[in-house]
Structure 1
Amino acid sequence: AYTTSVRNPRPASVASTLNPLRLAGLLRSVVDGNNPQDYMTLAEEMEERDLHYAAQLRTRKLAVAAIEPTVEPASDEQVDLDMADRVRDIMAEDQIPELFFDLLDGLGKGLSVAQILWDTKQTPWKPQDYK
């Protein structure tokens, strides 16, 4: 959403209207698979409002993001060695650390999603970008 759009880019606050009954209903609806929007908004608001919580999440995200990914072939067969090399090439891309950091948003929310935008102009396909 954009600020010039009809849709509001910032969802209505959940934390400001929270009470024990509403929190129980919100958590129950997420467990049942209904309307995770309010839960995600609450998780984001908690991170924005509680700086200690945000610092703890950031510490964990940075610790995981600092780990150097390794790729090992499934076997010594040439096809597996080639596949491992292709994956290593993808993992060396500049976008990967940011992608990992974004995916680590799931630490606080319990869920993180990324979409791979594929470059289909060449074979084998390679990820072009991540959203």
Structure 2
Amino acid sequence: MVTKRLKVLCVDDNHDIADSEAMLLDVYGIDARACYDGPHAILAGREFHPDAYLVDLNMPGMDGCEVARELRAEHDGPPPLLVAITAKSAAEDYRRTQAAGFDAHLVKPVEPNRLLKMLAELRRNPT
């Protein structure tokens, strides 16, 4: 039996962070790609069709919440998992990400095992 490889798009204007997330996930058998801004994340998602997006909130131009709203508005079929990855942890930040359509809000630095557990759950229970 062939199992579909989970696909994740890592979106952060800090190239080192996006690249590191993608490399970590790749080590664990996840097909991960890095993207460095909101507009390119939208375009890359249309071609790559990721199962999940890891999105930084504070990006110039199009911030992470705008990316989430755009992805939710245009997505047909099963929705991808949207995970906000940010340094912001105030109650208002959690409300903001929830209102934008994020499924989860993780605070940097993200514990890799927590992220991998979340993605493993997605693999077990695809939408």
| Larger radius of gyration between Structure 1 and Structure 2 | 1
Specify which structure has the bigger relative contact order, considering alpha-carbon pairs within 8 angstroms and separated by 6 or more residues.
Answer: 2
Higher helix share: 1
Higher strand share: 2
